[in-house]
């Protein structure tokens, strides 16, 4: 991992301005064989604008691998948490972070946190074990194991995400109802207005509706392209399905 500084990236809400994969990495091993990683190598990297950057793509496209590497390269724990969390239930992260170069602006974020839906239970347990002070800081004092999955997600975002921070999230909608997604959407808008940067992998058309957000779509060949909300794959597919579910069900449920 190499950390660079970009004097042009000092505007509010843009702490991390660019990512790229440096040289010296293996070329025949995972995750460097993922098309999205190969694209990052060939393209020379990807800018991260101020505010919210979403990554969308099919399962297996590599967006979660990329999100994980961004979080780890920025000093956060691979299973979730801040730089102060050091638990490791089962190490499964790739070594992409070791070769992912980050370009930072002159102002560092006041706080940083990685919310990873896949290992949230482990994060909740580690927070409990750190004691009531950590529970209050991360979850407002309530044990996440005594709340529903979605409620504890919201507790974390409301208690731990603060103005002027850098927050990385992998599929936060996994635990959220549609109504809770709208609550998170409102919270993200408030955070952006207060100078926060968020980098998020998601499948949720509700979250993607955040005004002013950048949406990067990863295609089957690994190419990363900025798309408008209406053109994003989760939005198009959801709209098509809701407009005529019978057309999809006829094919999905047809006898083989």
What digits encode the pLDDT tens for the residues 183-216?
A: 999 999 999 999 999 999 999 999 999 999 999 9
Largest CA distance in the chain: 60
**Looking at residue 2, what is its pLDDT?**
40
Alpha carbons 48 and 40: distance in angstroms, whole number: 13
Give the C-alpha separation, 116 to 118, whole Å.
6
**Residue 136: what pLDDT?**
46
Q: Is 0.75 topped by the overall pTM?
A: yes
pLDDT at residue 47, as a whole number? 97
- 138-182 confidence digits (pLDDT tens): 555 566 656 676 788 788 888 889 899 999 999 999 889 999 999
Structure tokens at 255: 């006898």
Number of Cβ within 10 Å of residue 86's Cβ equals 9
Cβ 224 vs Cβ 216: under 8 Å: yes
- Please report the domains of the chain, with CATH numbers, ordered by start residue: 3-252 (3.40.50.300)
Instruction: Establish whether the linkage from the previous residue to 31 is cis, with ω within 30° of 0.
Output: yes
Least confident window among 24-28, 89-93, 217-221? 89-93
Token pair, residue 231, equals 């053109």
Rounded CA gap, 61 and 67, in Å?
A: 12
- The pLDDT confidence band at residue 228, using thresholds 50, 70 and 90, is very high
List 4's β-bridge partners, or say none: 103
């Amino acid at each position: 991992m190499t950390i660079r500084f970009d004097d042009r990236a000092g505007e509010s809400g843009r702490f991390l301005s660019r990512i790229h994969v440096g040289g010296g990495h293996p070329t025949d091993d995972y995750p460097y064989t993922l098309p999205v990683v190969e694209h990052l190598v060939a393209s020379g990297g990807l800018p991260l604008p101020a505010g919210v950057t979403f990554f969308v793509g099919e399962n297996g496209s590599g967006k979660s691998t990329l999100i994980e590497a961004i979080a780890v390269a920025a000093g956060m724990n691979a299973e979730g948490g801040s730089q102060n969390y050091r638990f490791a239930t089962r190490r499964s992260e790739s070594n992409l972070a070791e070769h992912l170069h980050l370009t930072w602006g002159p102002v560092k974020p006041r706080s940083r946190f990685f919310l990873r839906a896949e290992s949230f239970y482990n994060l909740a347990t580690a927070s409990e074990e750190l004691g009531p002070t950590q529970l209050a800081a991360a979850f407002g004092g309530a044990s996440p194991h005594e709340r529903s999955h979605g409620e504890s997600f919201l507790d974390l975002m409301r208690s731990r995400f603060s103005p002027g921070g850098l927050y990385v999230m992998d599929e936060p909608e996994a635990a959220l109802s549609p109504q809770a997604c709208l609550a998170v959407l409102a919270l993200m808008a408030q955070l952006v207005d207060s100078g926060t940067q968020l980098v998020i992998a998601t499948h949720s058309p509700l979250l993607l509706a955040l005004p002013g957000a950048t949406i990067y779509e990863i295609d089957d060949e690994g190419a990363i392209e900025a798309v408008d909300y209406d053109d994003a794959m989760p939005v198009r597919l959801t709209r098509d399905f809701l407009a005529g579910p019978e057309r999809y069900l006829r094919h999905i449920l047809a006898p083989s």
